[in-house]
Amino acid sequence: MPSIQKPRSPYLRLAFVLALPAIGAAALVACGGGSDNLPPPPPPPPVPATDAASTVTTTEPPAQTVAPKPPPPPVTLTAGAASPDPTAPLPTVAITAPTRDQVIAGDKAADFSVKLDVKNWQTAMGSNHVHLILDNKPYKAIYETKQPVKLSELTGGEALAEGRHILVAFPSRANHESVKTKGAFVVVPFWVGKKGDTKDDPTKKPMLVYSRPKGEYNGEMANHVLIDFYVTNVTLAEGKEHVNVKVTGPGIDKPLEAKVEKFGPPLYLDNLQNGSYEVTTELVDGANKPVEGPWNSTKRSIKIDHDAPVDVAAAHGGHSAADAGAAKAPAGGAKDAGAAKTPAPPPTMTNNLPPMGGPGTK
């Protein structure tokens, strides 16, 4: 770059001094100066320190897998052991009113009093009693056998139609298993309105009387459910008349069936699930054909609820809870149908139980 000569005149020197900044700037531009030779910019401010704990990424622990609930055990229908027969003198039951083929006026039938004569069978609330049945309807448990029972208490709310009706009674144990000894069973036909033809008397023919189960089974009473029935005027035997039992409901893919060829031992249902079940009993001959008779094929529905509280009062014929407690009723019961503890059944077998052979009773 050429040197700059200072002027000799004072005025020129002053002008020269004032022009120096502009000359320097021009010289920088001319020589390729500018921002390329500026000092580097200051470094960026440091990033503020953060709490190490706050920078840690937290992850949720893996969800625990819940093992699937095992399926409930299969519902079973098994042959049970009959309770021992009562010791002598054996219990007997008679119906003293109405008498056989008695005619009751239609307008007085509802209030007509049924009277029993029970001997050698001590009854008490929550213990032994008598099953009283009208026209194959669900039985009424009778604990006060000397107290008359109105016919309207046995009809299930239905009016008594004109014509023939049938009463049946027999002793029952605390667990509602019927007593099947001689003289324990009684059947009496009677008439409402007017008397009809008595020649075709169904009470003198083979007759199947359904007894258990019935009603609602709550809590522990739903665990071991009794199936029991009565037969009269027929002897059950292998290859001859027998009773077919069929059960359908929750947890049963194929109907459970039993062929009963000996009158006496009851059956039991176990592992029932909550819900409604249908129990069918049918009297058939050796060819498995239905035996004619108005009571010989019966289907009943029962309700199972393991989660519901036990209704002790309802389990013992609808008496008050105080009465049931005073009588020291067994813990638990099924509504309208409580059952006491029973002996454990033999090894479980499902579907088509083997025949229970042996002679029956008349």
Looking at the chain, the whole-number percentage of residues with pLDDT higher than 70 is 70
Could you tell me if residue 66 is inside a domain?
no
Could you tell me if residue 270 is inside a domain?
yes
Could you tell me if residue 68 is inside a domain?
no
pLDDT band at 29 (very low <50, low <70, confident <90, very high): very low
What is the reported pLDDT for 326? 33
- Number of structural domains the chain divides into: 1
Could you tell me if residue 61 is inside a domain?
no
What is the reported pLDDT for 50? 54
Domain encompassing residue 204: 76-326
Edge-to-edge strand list for the sheet holding 113-119: 92-97, 113-119, 149-150
Structure tokens, 99: 């008498």
pTM flag (> 0.85): no
pLDDT band at 145 (very low <50, low <70, confident <90, very high): very high
pLDDT tens for 209-238 read: 999 999 999 999 999 999 999 999 999 999
For residue 296, pLDDT beyond 70: yes
Mean pLDDT of 47-52: 55
pLDDT tens for 236-248 read: 999 999 999 999 9
Q: What's the longest Cα–Cα distance across the chain?
A: 169
pLDDT tens for 174-195 read: 999 999 999 999 999 999 999 9
For residue 57, pLDDT beyond 70: no
Which CATH number goes with the domain that contains 265?
2.60.40.10
Angle at 92 between CA 90 and CA 94, to 5 degrees: 175
Specify the range with the lowest mean pLDDT, choosing from 164-168, 209-213, 234-238, 315-319: 315-319
Q: Where are the beta strands (DSSP E) in 32-159?
A: 76-79, 92-97, 103-104, 113-119, 129-134, 140-142, 149-150
pLDDT tens for 62-109 read: 777 888 888 899 999 999 999 999 999 999 999 999 999 999 999 999
What is the reported pLDDT for 332? 34
Q: Tell me which DSSP letter residue 151 carries.
A: G
Mean pLDDT of 262-266: 96
pLDDT band at 6 (very low <50, low <70, confident <90, very high): low
For residue 52, pLDDT beyond 90: no
What is the reported pLDDT for 60? 72
Q: Compute the distance between CA of residue 63 and CA of residue 334 in angstroms, rounded to an integer.
A: 42
Residues 6+ apart with CB under 8 A from 197: none
Q: Whole-number mean pLDDT of the chain?
A: 81
Could you tell me if residue 166 is inside a domain?
yes
Could you tell me if residue 296 is inside a domain?
yes
For residue 314, pLDDT beyond 90: no
Could you tell me if residue 25 is inside a domain?
no
Q: Where are the beta strands (DSSP E) in 254-330?
A: 256-260, 267-270, 275-284, 297-305
Mean pLDDT of 127-144: 97
Q: Compute the distance between CA of residue 265 and CA of residue 130 in angstroms, rounded to an integer.
A: 19
What is the reported pLDDT for 284? 98
What is the reported pLDDT for 37? 54
Could you tell me if residue 22 is inside a domain?
no
